[in-house]
Structure 1
């Protein structure tokens, strides 16, 4: 049975990627980093699988929608 995709917060993303906060938001704006999702009125997070895919291949990363896989 497939495990559900966890939502991780900015602190974890910073730790896993080694990027700064400003670099993450710049890369999101450029489309070269996974987009965050709203999880509450004041909170956002990322799908753990998206971050794992980005860490595995930062230069070749594309969103699943761009890759045609869909979610």
Structure 2
């Protein structure tokens, strides 16, 4: 199975996060960029999809517990 590398605009569209929030998550270690060149980064599609799925699981868990 091949993995695609998503550039920042695609990650913004897919996650609904703003650019500054994505960079904050990089700093916190939630997102790990892939260096594509001297001034270019991307993100593994599988890692972004996993992050989105985790948000869905966290939402489901919180709604079940009544939070």
Normalising by the smaller structure, the TM-score range is: 0.7 to 0.9
Q: Deviations over 1:9-55 (max 9, x none)?
A: 00000000000000111122112x22111012221100000000001
SS at structure 1 position matched to 2:37: coil
Describe how 1:1-71 pairs up with structure 2 within 5 A: 3-31=1-29, 33-58=30-55
The answer to which structure has the higher helix fraction is 2
| Structure 2 gaps, min length 5 | 58-67
The runs of at least 4 consecutive aligned structure 1 residues that moved more than 3 Å come to: none
Q: Deviations over 1:44-67 (max 9, x none)?
A: 10000000000111388xxxxxxx
The two structures, once aligned, show a CA RMSD in angstroms of 1.7
The answer to which structure has the higher strand fraction is 2
